[in-house]
Amino acid sequence: MTPALFCILLAAVLPLVCAGLSKWRGFGVSHRDGGYDNRNPREWIARQDDFAKWAHAAQENSWEAFPFFAAAVIVSHLLGVTGWLPNALAVLFIALRSVYVWLYVSGRQKWRSRVWALAWLTNVVIFLLPLAR
């Protein structure tokens, strides 16, 4: 297994990390007292603000980014592109997406959008690597 393929697993775990971040302040608190309500999670998250709401949005965006990344890495590998460059780009994508989550939950919208764009462009490059062969 190449590092790029392993990064697909990391990209699949990232939304779950965001989900945990969105709920962690509500754990250990009764749902009657405003804590996380597992019976009505969507209603609960809709009442949250700032950090929890942003972490939930980062989770949704991470799920949205996952298919393109996974497809890009798999297509690149299927077409015989392996080695340091696709591996480095996949690691860069995971690093950028991790920074993106941090920027999202900390309310840094301008930088968040820039990092999102860099991660997206990284995906495009991974997807197009077979054309450079």
Residues 6+ apart with CB under 8 A from 72: 123, 124, 126, 127
98 phi/psi in degrees, rounded to 5? -65, -45
Mean local confidence (pLDDT), 19-23: 90
Q: What angle do CA 114, 61, 47 make, to 5 degrees?
A: 115
Q: What is the pLDDT of residues 59-89, one digit of tens each?
A: 999 999 999 999 999 999 999 999 999 999 9
Name the average pLDDT for the chain.
92
Cα–Cα dist 87/85, whole Å: 5
| pLDDT tier at 25, thresholds 50, 70, 90 | confident
Q: At what angle do helices 3-23 and 84-105 cross, to 10 degrees?
A: 10
Looking at the predicted structure, is the pLDDT value of residue 42 above 90?
no
